Structure 1
Amino acid sequence: MIVTKYLMRLKLQQSKFNLMGIDLGTAFTGFSVTYNLKQVLVYDLHYSPCYSPHDSTLYKKIIEIINKEKIGGILIGKPSFQKGYIDEFTNGLESNLIVAGLKTYITQVGEDYTTSQARKISKTNNKFLHDGMAAMLILQNFLNDL
């Protein structure tokens, strides 16, 4: 169920559940998970390859994480300059969640240059780590705004 950022905040206040942050890229996808809305961790370091928002394997991976980590909300980073594949991915994910019988809230949150920020923070050339850290920054920025 796609919800607004405001509604996601309201749902968080009503019930405690874990959140997932997603940094969707054309080559790799980074995941982060928060536990008890406090501890934000890079999850699984990377998922590869993700060449299309229609990658059914990616949707299955996300559903696997949702079930394993009891995820109630997903934050998908959307750069202000993005051309639409984030929207396609979000709609595809929502459809897959419905088919799987999951009632997981989804919202898109603004994020610009989180991968660049992650590169500076990590001081490594590890692309997998950068995408995971970008997802972590997306999630942490959202939590900071609560």
Structure 2
Amino acid sequence: MAIDVRRLDRDVLDALNVLDALTKNSSLVTYVLRNTLAASWHDYGWTQHLETHQVLAACRRLEARGLVAEAPTSYATYKAWQITEAGRAEHERAAQKRCCDDMVMEDPDRAGWWAYRTAGPAGSGPAVVGGFPTATAARRAAARASNPESN
């Protein structure tokens, strides 16, 4: 089954960053990292079809870029991974860049169309702005709405 490797790399980095933020200098074994990404209570959206070898390949790609490092482990055959300083910086930069990715969703009123969540007018709570033909168009509109000085 083909997967989106860029999304997998991003999610692996995110999972390691979240763990690192909770407990400094901690690591995850590859199969635990896979289970974290596929767990229904996490918002990563991976299903049970995600395989451990795919996560291992993502970790190796990230290791080659210097974003994660293999961590020492007491397991004889399992590999453990931890995020590096460069990985933390990359994660923060990417999170800033895709801030509106998390706001984009399918339009609840029109099937096949896209919308984004916005803070809405002051004091009114969140609002949904919809009517975009593609997710990319919705992301661009969300970015413009969240950064008014660039208009």
TM-score by length of 2: 0.29
Structure with the larger strand share:
1
**Larger RCO: 1 or 2 (CA < 8 Å, sep 6+):** 1
TM-score by length of 1: 0.29
From the CA coordinates, give the structure whose radius of gyration is larger: 2
